[in-house]
Structure 1
């Protein structure tokens, strides 16, 4: 069974992540006519591939799924992870499949050669399923100047987990993300949707498992549906990461 992992929570780790936001930047060129929200899912528990995708489809929207092919079909603390057939079905239904490393690796702690081999394996596995993994999310949000420099040449965008809104000129190598997770996840995400509307900006939301008895990193199907509905009612476009950056 896949077990939870503890990233570097030391002061040094926090300072490294903050410093990374100042280095190896690549400016985004956004042309938003309306505030925009992207609903994204990390690791891809099977519940996200089913309940998460279905919630979006009910509102005629699609999401971005950051996939670790090395987790296919395994059991973990967020339930069973999606298998290749479920990922292929997401692609068939018009959702975007993006990269998240093969083995859900910490991109800062992993040696360069090992990380490159892992990324190659994940990209190859997703390509075999019919995906074009040109976007990426850092597992655990673990990012460093070294990781940004290495990954910037491989992917069109790299998403982190620091809270914020994406605007024209923002950093494509460390896009912000707001988690739909924890007891205050719905309220917090709703506040950020309202900020995106007020500032005509792009908000990237992320979560993991989507089920009633969800993990600390997931949410219920009802929570997700309410947030999608709120974004629509507030006048937001709901688009995948690739659609925003196309």
Structure 2
């Protein structure tokens, strides 16, 4: 070879060989260096149901990490993650993101209420020692104003649903989100995974992304259990999918959290707007459609059916509940849990006289919840039982003094047996503490003296 001038091609081949040798020498013994990631899969898990501890363990088994979007108002309530659960998931390296305090549809509330829900949730999670930088819109529902609120509250990203092509929806959508996303406040995710999804369909979402040149695939999960709910994925299917996915790193497909994909670091906390002062009930006579300001609520094993009826106490409309099957728990119409748009203001130490007109075929009772300073709603108390009534009857009862950190109140008339209940004309009266103590204050008022109690 002496005297032979190397060609450009031979030089490039030599350099390439040398570079390959260097890579092989730096790689750990017995391990091939994987290709650079082209496709990123993210397990995004919404709502914080207790079954998600199973999902976290499955992902950890394959050295994968997910993003768990948690509504702080549900932490520690029946069916949801406890504080110990949440801390264990975070300690295992999984990301905890925000999902509002009370899981409202952000497209249906005022922008001030949306800001309260988003900012207060982030503050609550931070106060628990967590690092929320990613957000998911409840129900995948949003408006441009809600997008801006997420940004203003200090999040780096916000995920939506139904925006990536799958076998179950959005046939005309792209097979993957871009990296980085075109709009971090509108990160595209799959439609919600349900029990009908097969292992092959989960795999196909990833394969389609790979075939299109790669990108980001945020999968949208909720419960991880065997047919325990309408948005559940079977743990066996999830395990098999994670196992299959773990072998695709050599093909340039990896699993990352939302925070790892988007980046940006933890931004400063932003204070939530204060609750609006709301005296009295919204739509107390249930005349407005919806009915506006009220929500149906149930727990336990029962089958409630709600209808709007013209069998009203006053006005035109009332609400009827038929309990067609019952094992335990109850069902009721409650004033809406929120952070100040609808829920009436309540104050520590004051008592509240609550009531509703009703007809029923079984005993009923008033169930009362209260909101604390963190915006979290908690069960408070219940009234004695009221007897069945074939004619319109006023169920009324006065609560004990409200606990020290109370800021809001919600109540409803509950049915806890097979039968029917029709309600109308809800009412509430606040009884200030000075009514009970008789304590008043003597205050100068111009040239006069006035007593304030």
Instruction: Please give the TM-score of this superposition, normalised by the length of structure 2.
Output: 0.44
Q: Is the 8 A contact 2:195 2:232 kept in 1?
A: yes
Look up the match of 1:182. Answer: 195
Classify 1:107/1:186 alpha carbon distance in 2 versus 1 (closer, same or farther; 3 Å): farther
Q: Once the 2 structures are TM-superposed, how far is the Cα of residue 163 of structure 1 from its aligned partner?
A: 2.8
- Paired residue for 2:254, among 221, 237, 246? 237
Aligned partners of 2:198 and 2:61: how far apart in 1? 21
Q: 1:185, CA displacement in angstroms?
A: 5.2
The alignment's C-alpha RMSD in Å is 1.7
Match of 2:56 among 40, 53, 56: 53
1:191 and 2:204 correspond: yes
Cα distance in 1 for residues equivalent to 2:69 and 2:87: 13
Q: Hey, what's the Cα distance between the residues in 2 that align with 1:35 and 1:51?
A: 25
> Does structure 1 residue 221 correspond to structure 2 residue 235?
yes
Whether 1:161 and 2:161 are equivalent positions in the alignment is: yes
Partner of 1:97: 96
Quick one: distance in 2 between partners of 1:187 and 1:181? 14
CA 1:173–1:120: 2 relative to 1, 3 Å? closer
| Deviation of the 1:105 alpha carbon | 1.2
Higher relative contact order (CA 8 A, sep 6+): 1
Counterparts of 1:106-117 in structure 2, within 5 Å, are: 106-117=105-116
CA distance in 1, matches of 2:141, 2:220: 15
* Alignment gaps of 5+ in structure 2: 1-35, 165-175, 264-453
- Could you tell me how far apart the structure 1 residues matched to 2:132 and 2:257 are? 13
How many residues align? The count is 210
1:81 is matched with: 80
Unaligned runs of 5+ in 1: 1-31
Partner of 1:25: none
| Contact 1:36 1:196 (C-alpha < 8 Å) held by counterparts | no
SS in 2 for 1:61: coil
Report the 3-state secondary structure (helix = DSSP H, G, I; strand = E; otherwise coil) of the residue aligned with 1:91. Answer: helix
Asked if 1:38 corresponds to 2:49, the answer is no
How many Å apart are 1:213 and its aligned residue?
A: 3.1
Task: Note closer, same or farther for the CA distance 1:184–1:93 as it changes in structure 2 (3 Å cut).
Answer: closer
CA distance in 1, matches of 2:120, 2:159: 20
Which aligned runs of 4 or more in structure 1 are off by greater than 4 angstroms? none
In structure 1, C-alpha distance between the alignment counterparts of 2:82 and 2:120, rounded to whole Å: 16
Aligned to 2:182: 170
Distance 1:97 1:185 in 2: 27
Structure 1 CA distance for aligned equivalents of residues 237 and 128 of structure 2? 30
What is the Cα deviation at residue 172 of structure 1? 1.1
Tell me if structure 2 keeps the 8 A contact 1:194–1:234. no
Partner of 1:5: none
2:107 touches 2:146 (CA, 8 Å); kept in 1?
Answer: yes
Residue 27 of structure 1 corresponds to none
- In terms of fraction of residues, the more helix-rich structure is 1
